[in-house]
């Protein structure tokens, strides 16, 4: 009965940033629950490697498409490629993102600013606009935007990223207006997770920060995002749209 609540059999999910981190874990969970998967990220080889693993391990159809979603034309090519290969997209997960480092706000270059906004916001906008329209025509679909607690508690060391993610939250609400009632659009708001980015964290420093800013005093494990991702993708959330679900261990202050 619990499996039926999150059954994705017959669905096709397109996941950007899908070859690593939270995107990879979401792709694996969707395949485990019966969905066919289109894995998209900048590196074609990584996408194809994960697609092969999903086909072998779960017996689903899976494809890898290399695409840099910061480019409008590559978003359009990704959409056309996904529909050509899979025939449809039922679930879009806008997970691709990046947060470049800098020493001070005054030293943020135009290139860094544009790159951050393009990946975190331009890509989700273009993919959601085009795929959302097709979903609406087909009569159903689910778009899931992956934001960040930086959108709620912005910090000086990640301000362009926080701005982009805050705009992504707004995009969710606008898409609800554009494509309801056929298409549901929701947002997952993760806190810090132990993905590959965690390798750069100094353990003692991170722990002291976590204790000061996170109710659960720790970072999340990648599998802890799965419940939210399955909920929004499946019929379990049939009456949920425009929602913003924090999966952050109870972040209550800026993560400095």
List active site positions.
161
Among all chains, which residue has been given the structure tokens 């689903």?
A: 60
Q: How many CB atoms lie within 10 A of CB 238?
A: 10
Compute the CA torsion angle 47, 29, 120, 172 (nearest 10 deg). 140
141 forms beta bridges with 183
Query: Which residues, in sequence order, are CB contacts of 4 under 8 Å at separation 6+?
Result: none
Distance (Å) of CA 193 to CA 5, 149, 235, 247: 26, 11, 26, 10
Half-sphere exposure of 232 (CA within 13 A, CB side): 30
Task: Quote the Cα angle for 43-114-82, to 5°.
Answer: 35
Among all chains, which residue has been given the structure tokens 């996941």?
A: 15
Cβ atoms of 128 and 171 closer than 8 Å: yes
In the chain, which residue ranges form alpha helices assigned H by DSSP?
2-5, 21-32, 44-58, 72-86, 110-117, 123-138, 159-179, 203-213, 226-233
Return d(Cα 120, Cα 125) in angstroms, integer: 9
Cβ atoms of 18 and 25 closer than 8 Å: no
Return d(Cα 199, Cα 214) in angstroms, integer: 19
């Amino acid at each position: 009965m619990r499996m039926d609540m999150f059954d994705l059999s017959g669905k096709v999910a397109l996941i950007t940033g899908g070859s690593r981190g939270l995107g990879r874990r979401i792709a694996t969970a969707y395949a485990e629950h019966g969905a066919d998967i289109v894995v998209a990220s900048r590196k074609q080889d990584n996408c194809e490697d994960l697609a092969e693993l999903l086909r072998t391990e779960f017996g689903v159809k899976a494809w890898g498409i290399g695409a840099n979603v910061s480019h409008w034309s590559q978003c359009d090519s990704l959409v056309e490629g996904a529909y050509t290969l899979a025939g449809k997209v039922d679930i879009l997960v806008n997970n691709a993102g990046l947060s470049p480092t800098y020493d001070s706000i005054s030293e943020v270059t135009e290139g860094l600013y544009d790159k951050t906004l393009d990946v975190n916001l331009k890509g989700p906008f273009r993919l959601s606009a085009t795929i959302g329209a097709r979903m609406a025509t087909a009569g159903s679909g689910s778009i899931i935007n992956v934001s960040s607690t930086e959108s709620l508690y912005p910090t000086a060391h990640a301000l362009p990223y926080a701005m982009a993610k805050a705009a992504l939250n707004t995009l969710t609400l606008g898409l609800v207006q554009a494509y309801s009632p056929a298409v549901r659009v929701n947002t997952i708001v993760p806190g810090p997770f132990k993905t590959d980015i965690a390798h750069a964290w100094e353990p003692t420093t991170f722990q002291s920060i976590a204790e000061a800013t996170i109710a659960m005093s720790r970072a999340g494990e990648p599998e802890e995002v799965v419940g939210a991702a399955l909920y929004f993708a499946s019929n379990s959330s049939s009456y949920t749209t425009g929602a913003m679900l924090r999966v952050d261990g109870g972040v209550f202050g800026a993560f400095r």
